[in-house]
Structure 1
C-alpha cells in the first residue's frame, strides 16, 4: 500500500493454486503441477495476472522460488520479487518490474485455523517497507508492506464457509484480525498485535462492524471501536466470492487504513464459478527455462 494510499499491489506465490479452476478440475492431487505467481496492481492503470503453470515452470531452492518468468528470492534481509507476467483479459498487457520488501523483523507466530491443523496461517513479517518499481508509468513508489503464508492439507471450502481478514498499521507495528466460520458450525476470532521488533501478543477483540457489501454483494464485516463505521478507501479486487479492499477503521481511538479481505466459500463451492474463473486464470502447462 503506497504511503499516500493511492496505489497498492498484492503478490501471491502458489504451490497448489487454490483459486485456480484447473487445479480443482485436476482433483487437487498434484500441487506442484499447478503453480502461480499472482500479481495484481490497484490504482490508475491497475492490472490482474494469474497464470496457472505446470511443474516444469517451478524451481525451488532454500532462498528462492521461481515460477516461469517470475521469481521471489531472499537477499540478506530483503525479499526481492522479479515480475514478468501478462495481464488477464480484458486488458492483456505486460506487468513487469521489481518489488523489494524489507521486514522490520520476522515473527515466530503460527495460528492454526482449524483444530486439526489442516490450515495454518504464518505471518512472517506483518510490518515491512516495500519499494515498487514497475515499468508502467506512475508505478514507482514506496509504502507499507506485509508478508505472510498459508499452508493447508484440505481445500478451503471443505473446512470453511466464510472468513474475513485484515491487517492495519499501528504506531509500533501492525494489528491483524482473523474471523472465520467453519463448516462444522464452530468459529475462529483472533486479534494479534505485532510490534516492529517481531514480538507479538493477543489483542482484545473490538466489536464487529459492518462494511457495505462489495460490487458482487459479498457480505463484509471487520473490527472497529464501538460506534465507529469503517469505510472502504479503495476497491482493490472484486469477484463473485471474494473482496479485497483498502479499508479505514478505528482501533483504540486511532484511525488506521489497511488491507482487508472477505471470502465467501459457499459461493466459491459452486461449479458454475469455475468456467468464469478460467477466463481470468489461463493454464500454461509447459515451460522451458
Structure 2
C-alpha cells in the first residue's frame, strides 16, 4: 500500500545527448505520480554528453522507480543514480595532523547542515583521536610507511567495505593513495589542497607563497585519481591578500579557505549534484 505522504527522491543521470531526453524523464516521473520540485540539466558540446539532476516527490515504491529508470536507461544508454532526498551519505574522513578541515566537517554534520553520516575518522597518526572522540566518532589508527603501505591500504579498503562507506574524504590527509586504491575509490573520494600547486609544492607552501608576494590564496577540492592532485575539480575558493600578510596570516587564511571549499564539495557530492564529465565535473549547485 502506498503511504499517504509521497517519498522524496533525487535522480541524477548522464548519457549521450539527443532529442527527447528531458521529455522522456519527465514523462516517466509523471506516469509514476511524480511531482518535480527541482530540475537542472546541461548538454556538453565538447563531449556530446547530457547531464540531468531531478528532485521529485512520488508515491511509487523504490522497486517501481528502479525498474522504470532501468528501462529508460537502456533506451538512452544512461548512467544514473536514484536516492532518497536528504539521506545522509555514509562517509569516513582520512586525517593526518591538521584539524581544521575534519573539525569543520564534524561540526557541520552535528549541526545538521552537511548531509553526511560520518562513520569513522581514520588517521595515519594518533594526533586527532581526541577530536574524533569528542564528536563521538570511532577513530582508527592506520599508520603508513613505505614498507607497510599495501597492507595499510588493504586495511583502509576493508574498513570502507565493512562500514558500508559511500564517500571517503581526505581532510588534509598527507599520504598519496596508490593507483590501485584510487581506482577502487573512483568517483567517491574527495581531496582538498592549497591551490598553489604546482607553483608551491612540498613543505611550507604558505611560506613559499609569502616569499613570492602572492595576492590570492586559495584551495581546490577534487576527486582523487592516480594522477596526483589532477583529479576532476569540484570546487575552488580564494581570498585576496596584500603585502602586509605574514606567512602565519597566509596559513590561517588558507586553512579557512580549505575548509570552506571542502565542505561545499562534500555537500554537493552527498546531494548528488556532481556528475563526472571525463576529466571535468558538472556541478548543479
Give TM-score, length-normalised by structure 2: 0.28
Radius of gyration: which is bigger? Answer: 2
Give TM-score, length-normalised by structure 1: 0.28
Greater helix share, structure number: 2
Greater strand share, structure number: 1
